[in-house]
């Protein structure tokens, strides 16, 4: 199993906020990468994100809301909540398996 990133609504909203003052070409490029990750199955997210993003749509002066455009482009890739949890469990299981037994000191900042 390769890398899988599980995101929630706040992750996509944060991208929207961080990119608010960037040139349109850069914003388009960032969302194109997010769409590509979704299409390759690397970006995993629950179906609820699509509705939540659309509820919080912003009317950007430079055109349509890029987060909503992302939601439209990726809606077919959204999965049911239980499927997201299965993906997250697989990722976490791999991380735990790589951590040394409790009696040893783990040098990872995540498991410290």
Selected residue with higher pLDDT from 11 and 85: 11
Residue 13 belongs to a domain: yes
Residue 112 belongs to a domain: no
Question: 58-95: per-residue pLDDT in tens?
Answer: 655 456 788 888 888 988 887 766 666 666 666 666 55
Residue 10 belongs to a domain: yes
Q: pLDDT tier at 110 (50, 70, 90 boundaries)?
A: very low
Residue 93 belongs to a domain: yes
Domain interval for residue 12: 5-98
pLDDT value of residue 30: 92
At residue 98, does pLDDT exceed 60? no
Residue 107 belongs to a domain: no
Report CA-CA distances (Å) from 98 to 85, 92, 101, 112: 20, 10, 9, 13
Residue 77 belongs to a domain: yes
Q: Kindly state the tokens that stand for 19.
A: 């990119």
Whether 12 contacts 70, CB under 8 Å: yes
Question: 14-61: per-residue pLDDT in tens?
Answer: 888 888 888 888 988 999 999 998 888 888 788 888 888 877 666 554
Whether 91 contacts 4, CB under 8 Å: yes
3-state helix, strand, coil in the chain (%, to 5): 55, 5, 40
Q: Give me the number of domains the chain comprises.
A: 1
Tell me how far apart the alpha carbons of residues 26 and 16 are, in angstroms, rounded to a whole number.
12
pLDDT value of residue 57: 62
Residue 106 belongs to a domain: no
At residue 101, does pLDDT exceed 60? no
Residue 109 belongs to a domain: no
């Amino acid at each position: 199993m390769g890398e899988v990133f599980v995101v929630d609504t706040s992750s996509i909203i944060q991208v929207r906020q961080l990119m608010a003052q960037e040139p349109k070409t850069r914003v388009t490029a960032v969302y194109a990468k997010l769409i590509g990750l979704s299409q390759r199955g690397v970006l995993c997210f629950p179906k609820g994100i699509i509705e939540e993003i659309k509820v919080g749509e912003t009317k950007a002066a430079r055109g349509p809301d890029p987060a909503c455009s992302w939601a439209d482009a990726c809606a077919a890739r959204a999965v049911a909540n239980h499927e997201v949890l299965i993906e997250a469990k697989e990722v976490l299981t791999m991380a735990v398996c790589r951590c040394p037994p409790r009696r040893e000191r783990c040098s990872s900042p995540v498991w410290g």
